[in-house]
A = this chain, B = another copy of it.
Amino acid sequence: MRATVLYAAGDVRIEEVPDPVLHEPTDAIVRVVRSCICGSDLWPYRHMKPDPHGRRMGHEFIGVVTETGADVGRPAVGDVVVAPFMYCDNTCEFCREGLHTSCRRGGGWGIGGVDGGQGEAVRAPLAEGTLVTLPVGADDPLIPSLLTLSDVFCTGHHAAVCARVRAGSAVAVVGDGAVGLCGVLAARRLGAEQIVLLGHHKERTDLGREFGATDVVTERGGEAVARVRELTGGDGVHSVLECVGLVDAFETSLAITRPGGAVARVGVPQYEQVPLGRAVFMANITVSGGVAPARAYIEELLPDVLEGRLEPGRVFDRTVDLDGVPGGYAAMNERRALKVMIVP
């Protein structure tokens, strides 16, 4: 089969790789019908040191089950399934606590002999725990929105949950990438009254407004902080969804948080140290979030997508086939595309 392999920064290739076969009785084989490129894929795309073995890419996909191991009770062959961006058994104590990203037996797609999602097919470990069957056909118009349940919508939702967004909250979303926009959608879904989106790209912040942002702040740094304070009566917001992963965004997030409020970070940190000194301490600001346990949220978010109340799939603004994947990476990296969908 063909799949996406990254060999070094900027060097992404579509290559012939072995067809997946069942290794464990808990595996399933899934033919990928839709995948996509993640903002987090851009970090290795920008910075990866050359690796002659390459790295299989992709961790978001919807597919059709073509084969199941002996221990897989469900999903069944023929089911259309969505995969969260890490696989998991859905039974260990971390999974039972809703922290599937810390599953005792789980792991990441494309790592340790597991296929990536940006290819024609995938061996899905722990298929019964990992894969969620969707009550739609593989060519349903809802597929793009359902695909966001793999990662980006669940990640935005995780940020909103960890930042304690509730009915009436004043919320800021830092970052107008696909996760940030899904964060806006998630905050609105949880009843936020004010949603301030911080971003610089008009077509993105316009979509953010359609998703529920009540205000857009295009300033940067100290000016952005001043503007958010102005919009919130001087105090800042209860909840900040930090959807970037850079230390500047983190600092801005802290500076616009109301005393007693929370910053939830879901952008993969591109830093080690953060300023968390006396000012943050005196304001009792909580820092929360982390890698999103998408599997924990899929069933909860599914009805709003299936019934068309929310359309997170609008973050996809470009569709490519496998041959178009390298161009898709380049387009996202150069911000010519917000999020690229792949039809293998």
Contacts and interface: CB of A to CB of B under 8 A. Distances in A.
B102 A283 contact: yes
Interface of A: 94, 97, 99, 101-102, 162, 259-260, 265, 268-269, 271-278, 280-291, 293
Contacts of A273: 273-277
A288 B264 CA distance: 11
Ranked nearest first, the 9 interchain pairs of A and B with the lowest CB-CB distance are A284-B290, A102-B259, A272-B277, A286-B288, A99-B260, A273-B273, A287-B287, A274-B276, A281-B290
Contact of A269 (B162, B268, B278, B293): B278
Contacts of A291: 281-282, 284
Q: SS class of chain A's interface: helix, strand, loop or mixed?
A: mixed
B268 A101 contact: no
A280 B276 CA distance: 14
B276 A276 contact: yes
Contact of A101 (B101, B277, B284): B284
A286 B162 contact: yes
B281 A268 contact: yes
A293 B291 CA distance: 31
